[in-house]
Amino acid sequence: MSKSEHPNNRPLRYPKARLSPAKDDRLLIEIARAGVEAGDIAPVLQQLEFMTETRELAERWEGRVAIVFAGWEDDPREVVEIPAVRRYFASLTEAWPYWLHFIEKVGDSLPLVLGLLCLGHREAIAPGLIGWAFDDLEEVRKQLLLLFLRQNALYERLGLSESMNQRITEEVAQLLESVFSGAPPPAAPG
């Protein structure tokens, strides 16, 4: 069986993500509309900060976090289009910028993170299929650079391994390649 195939012979969407020890054990962070509208990041920040207290916790929760914004189900906009959600997530990321290490990399959580941090718009990508297009790839590149720098600072502070850092960087690069298919992905720092 090739590395990029699932046992049932369906190709994995992001084959490098299979290297992550966390695929089935997720920590779903639900962010309530009331907290978003109040701009109160404290409850969610508390849930996230415990993962960066020790090397062991950072290793345990690597690649396991997924986020969902609750209470917006009746809003016709995508969460990445809602200004209050974008402001909230920007504040949360300023306080806790370690998404590249902790976000799950099998599903669409990383594109969600980037969509919340970088401006974009809905775009028809095929008949009957709507996708998200970033307005400025330079903005995406700068945001990724900041996230990678913060990840590196976390690794240095906790003494996390260079091999883990390299693996996660490769996983992120593969996800970006998929997200930006057709356009060259912003380069990850090397």
Residue 69 — left, alpha, or beta (φ > 0 → left; ψ -120 to 50 → alpha)?
Answer: beta
The H-or-E segment that residue 174 falls in is: helix 162-179
Token readout for 95 is: 């306080």
Query: What is the rounded CA–CA span in Å between residue 102 and residue 128?
Result: 33
The label of the residue with tokens 């409850």 reads: 43
Query: What is the rounded CA–CA span in Å between residue 107 and residue 112?
Result: 10
Contact 85, 79 (CB under 8 A): yes
Query: What is the rounded CA–CA span in Å between residue 21 and residue 183?
Result: 30
Determine the pLDDT at residue 82. 98
Phi, psi (deg, nearest 5) at residue 97: -95, 35
Phi, psi (deg, nearest 5) at residue 88: -60, -50
Determine the pLDDT at residue 173. 92
Contact 87, 35 (CB under 8 A): no
The label of the residue with tokens 């012979």 reads: 9
Instruction: Show pLDDT as tens, one digit a residue, over the chain (190 residues).
Output: 333 333 444 444 445 555 555 556 889 999 999 999 999 999 999 999 999 999 999 999 999 999 999 999 999 999 999 999 999 999 999 999 999 999 999 888 999 999 999 999 988 878 888 888 899 999 999 999 999 999 999 999 999 999 999 999 999 999 888 877 755 445 555 4
- Please give the C-alpha separations between residue 97 and each of 48, 94, 100, 153, in angstroms, as whole numbers: 10, 6, 8, 10
Query: What is the rounded CA–CA span in Å between residue 111 and residue 4?
Result: 20
- Which amino acid makes up residue 189? P
- Name the DSSP class of 5: B
Determine the pLDDT at residue 124. 84
